[in-house]
């Protein structure tokens, strides 16, 4: 099997995407990526990120490939859980404080920075609207994040999200309080939940 064939095979196994890092890890010279682009067998969609030409760009998955620490959060996560009916205008992504990768330059992204010790709190995976697996915070972490960030949010989105969560049959108040303690917003969360439940 030629290097070009190996790259195409890797891309097919990876939802139609391939990164230059994955190519290097497979001990293939990245020059082969350029050759495949010239032959129109791959498309370069951003620095170090390529996809098969018949693939549809899944921005959620694309951002996930750009940074292993990328976790969808805030209004983006609210939308995934049907806690907001507004399609987000931007992608809300949480990263560790020391992050300074390519996502910082993307105008379609709002980055939220957290300490490493709480980065994975409430982390789960779901299918993006295009069917690829992506990392996102669970409902309870998302509620904690919007309460913590309430002064920088659209008030209507904020209030509706809390109301929908309070009415949800899937809510886990024990988990919500546990997360709130770790994020140092327990008092605020209790205040909101006492009014809504």
pLDDT of residue 75: 96
Give me the mean pLDDT over the 96-120 stretch: 93
Task: Give the tokens for residue 159.
Answer: 């209030």
Q: Does residue 195 or residue 142 have the better pLDDT?
A: 142
Closest CA to 146 of 108, 87, 189: 189
- Mean residue pLDDT of the chain comes to 92
pLDDT of residue 91: 95
Burial of 174 (0-12, 13-18, 19+ CB in 10 A): exposed
172 touches 141 (CB < 8 A): no
Task: Give the tokens for residue 102.
Answer: 């390519």
Is the model's pLDDT at 126 over the cut of 80? yes
22 touches 50 (CB < 8 A): no
CA distance 58 to 21: 19
CA distance 50 to 45: 6
63 touches 92 (CB < 8 A): no
pLDDT of residue 125: 96
Q: Give me the residue label for tokens 């805030």.
A: 74
Q: How confident is the model at residue 140 (pLDDT cuts 50, 70, 90)?
A: very high
Largest Cα separation within the chain, whole Å, is 64
Is the model's pLDDT at 129 over the cut of 90? no
pLDDT of residue 81: 95
pLDDT of residue 38: 92
Give a three-class secondary structure readout of the chain.
Answer: CCHHHHHHHHHHHCCCEEEHHHHHHCCCCCHHHHHHHHCCCCEEEECCEEECCCCCCCHHHHHHHHCCCCEECHHHHHHHCCCCCCCCCCEEEEEECCCCCHHHHCCCEEEEEECHHHHCCCEEEEECCCCCEEEEECHHHHHHHHHHCHHHCCHHHHHHHHHHHHHCCCCCHHHHHHHHHHCCCHHHHHHHHHHHC
Give me the mean pLDDT over the 65-70 stretch: 86
**Percent of the chain with pLDDT strictly greater than 90:** 65
Q: For each of the domains in the chain, give its residue range(s) and CATH number, in order of start.
A: 3-57 (1.10.10.10), 61-196 (no CATH)
Say how many residues make up the chain. 197
pLDDT of residue 132: 86
């Amino acid at each position: 099997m030629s290097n070009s064939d190996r790259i195409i095979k890797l891309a097919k196994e990876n939802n139609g995407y391939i990164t230059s890092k994955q190519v290097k890890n497979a001990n293939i010279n990245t020059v082969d990526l350029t050759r495949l682009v010239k032959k129109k067998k791959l498309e370069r969609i951003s620095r170090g990120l390529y996809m098969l030409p018949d693939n549809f760009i899944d921005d959620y998955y694309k951002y996930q490939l750009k940074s292993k620490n990328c976790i969808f959060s805030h209004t983006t996560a609210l939308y995934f859980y049907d806690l907001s009916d507004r399609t987000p205008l931007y992608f809300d992504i949480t990263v560790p404080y020391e992050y300074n990768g390519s996502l910082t330059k993307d105008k379609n992204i709002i980055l939220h920075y957290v300490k490493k010790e709480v980065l994975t709190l409430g982390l789960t995976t779901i299918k993006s609207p295009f069917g690829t697996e992506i990392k996102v915070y669970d409902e309870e972490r998302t509620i904690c994040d919007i309460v913590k960030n309430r002064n920088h949010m659209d008030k209507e989105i904020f209030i509706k999200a809390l109301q929908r969560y309070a009415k949800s049959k899937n809510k886990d108040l024990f988990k919500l309080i546990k997360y709130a303690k770790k994020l140092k917003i327990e008092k605020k969360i209790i205040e909101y939940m006492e009014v809504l439940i």
